[in-house]
């Protein structure tokens, strides 16, 4: 059994606990993930969870320090959710192994230990950046500096020491290290086209069509990708948004959820960050300048051609969001009464507005003839729900 390190995080204040995901829990027996987590604590009432998260079922709990002080440190364990659709290409076989390799190389990331063959992540006590700095609010100077430090450290990491083997990635797509941003983006476009769009077209084709979405945008992006500027490959987090940054009690920024990390074009990390953060234009320009300074100080040439290439990568992120969000929204609604059309899935109230926003953001690369209104988005989903509903035959007319 691996001894617990000196606490990287302190236990929450007396009586405080991590927050579990909101919403009703499914009735019935405990999930396998909860059962395995419960085996790690002397009392199942100590478990908090499941915590919010799409890819994993996560539980947090306190464990006593090994120094006999009686102090407790909060940890969490994560289990992949079964049956999830994967919308992003994975490059590292193990997030745990990557985090282990990054200890001492990247500042303020979770510590990992092993208990009973289960990897535990240190629970970073604090609030998400989304709570501290919501959409439309500029980052503080302190957080800007720490974000720049993260970009610099990512660029400085020796990728040969991260466990990246350059083997085939998800879907059989090559994940080799050619230090070629054009090939890198082409692989990502191919994954989105074949494993997100085309794979699900038989089921969701009518929904995409009613929303005005087709696959031609990916062909255009592929042509633009072929002209990207050569840049040295670096470690890329791949998912730097407000909920993957935790602000601790001292006001410092921690980076969590490294499962989408890759070795690839460093500009992709900036494009993903800008796309997910929704900065106002001036703040976007400030963060871009910060990124350029950070990566160039770590590896000269890492920002080469960014002025021409960043718009192409942003287009890809906008288009990718449309394909993934349209499908996720179709999968997300709870069961209940339909929107005036009888029983069936009910679309969450805010979902049409969110889908309209991602369509509007991608209107140019998608070449949308029009951006549907929120009402039209809702109607498209209702029509699709109706088309998926099982048909029933009246006993009076049954053959």
By percentage, how much of the chain surpasses pLDDT 70? 80
Residue 375 and residue 282 in one domain: yes
In this prediction, residue 272 has a pLDDT band, given cuts at 50, 70 and 90, of: very high
CATH of the domain at 242: 3.90.1200.10
Distance CA 274, CA 388 (A): 36
- Tell me what the mean pLDDT of segment 215-225 comes to: 94
Same domain, 82 and 193: no
State the pLDDT at residue 10.
Answer: 38
Q: Is 108 helix (H, G, I), strand (E, B) or coil?
A: coil
342 CB-near residues (< 8 Å, 6+ apart): none
pLDDT in tens, 126-151: 999 999 999 988 999 999 999 999 99
What pLDDT does residue 15 have?
Answer: 39
CA distances, 315 to each of 85, 213, 275 (Å) = 23, 15, 9
Q: Given this model, what pLDDT does residue 119 score?
A: 86
Phi, psi of 42 (to 5 degrees): -70, -20
Give me the CATH number covering residue 89: 3.30.200
H runs (alpha helix) in 192-305: 199-211, 216-225, 266-277, 281-298
Single residue among 64, 92, 125 that ends a domain in this structure = 125
Residues 190 and 335 in one domain: yes
Maximum average pLDDT range among 66-70, 75-79, 84-88, 205-209: 205-209
Res 336 pLDDT > 60: no
Mean pLDDT of 378-396: 76
Domain span at residue 311 reads 130-386
First to last CA, the chain: 66
Tokens of 22: 């909101």
pLDDT of 171 reads 38
Q: For the chain, where are the E strands, in sequence order?
A: 56-64, 72-80, 112-115, 118-122, 127-128, 234-236, 245-247, 253-255, 262-264, 335-337, 343-345
Residues 189 and 79 in one domain: no
* Whether residue 102 is found in the same domain as residue 188: no
Residue 75 lies in a domain: yes
User: How high is the pLDDT of residue 334?
Assistant: 53
For residues 235 and 154, state if they share a domain: yes
Give this prediction's pTM. 0.85
**Does 395 have pLDDT greater than 70?**
no
Residue 121 has φ and ψ, to the nearest 5°, of -100, 140
């Amino acid at each position: 059994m691996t001894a617990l390190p000196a606490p990287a995080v302190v236990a929450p204040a007396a009586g405080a606990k991590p927050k579990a995901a909101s919403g009703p829990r499914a009735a019935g027996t405990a999930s396998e993930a909860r059962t395995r987590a419960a085996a790690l604590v002397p009392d199942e009432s100590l478990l908090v969870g499941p915590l919010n998260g799409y890819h994993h079922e996560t539980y947090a709990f306190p464990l006593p320090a090994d120094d006999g002080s009686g102090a407790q440190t909060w940890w969490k364990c994560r289990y992949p959710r079964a049956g999830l659709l994967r919308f992003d290409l994975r490059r590292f076989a193990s997030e745990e192994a990557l985090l282990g390799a990054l200890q001492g190389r990247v500042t303020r990331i979770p510590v990992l230990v092993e208990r009973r063959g289960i990897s535990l992540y240190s629970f970073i006590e604090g609030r998400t950046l989304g709570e501290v700095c919501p959409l439309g609010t500029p980052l503080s100077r302190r957080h800007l500096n720490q974000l720049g430090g993260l970009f610099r450290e990512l660029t400085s990491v020796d990728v040969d020491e991260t466990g990246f083997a350059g083997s085939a990635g998800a879907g059989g797509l090559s994940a080799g290290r050619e230090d070629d941003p054009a090939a890198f983006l082409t692989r990502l476009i191919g994954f989105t086209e074949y494993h997100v769009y085309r794979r699900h077209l038989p089921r969701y084709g009518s929904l995409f069509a009613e929303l005005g979405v087709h696959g031609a945008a990916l062909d255009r992006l592929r042509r633009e990708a072929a002209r990207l500027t050569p840049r040295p490959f670096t470690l890329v987090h791949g998912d730097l948004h407000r909920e993957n940054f935790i602000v601790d009690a001292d006001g410092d920024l921690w980076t969590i959820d490294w499962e989408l990390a890759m070795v690839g074009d460093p500009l992709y990390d900036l494009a993903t960050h800008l796309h997910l953060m929704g900065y106002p234009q001036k703040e976007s320009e400030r963060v871009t300048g910060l990124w350029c300074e950070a990566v160039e100080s770590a590896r000269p040439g890492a920002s080469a051609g960014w002025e021409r290439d960043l718009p192409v990568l942003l287009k890809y992120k906008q288009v990718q969001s449309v394909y993934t969000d349209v499908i996720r929204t179709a999968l997300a609604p709870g069961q209940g009464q339909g929107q005036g059309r009888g029983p069936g899935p009910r679309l969450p109230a805010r979902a049409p507005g969110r889908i309209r926003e991602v369509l509007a953001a991608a209107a140019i690369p998608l070449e949308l003839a029009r951006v549907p209104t929120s009402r039209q988005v809702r109607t498209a989903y209702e029509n699709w729900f109706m088309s998926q509903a099982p048909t029933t035959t009246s006993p009076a007319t049954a053959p």
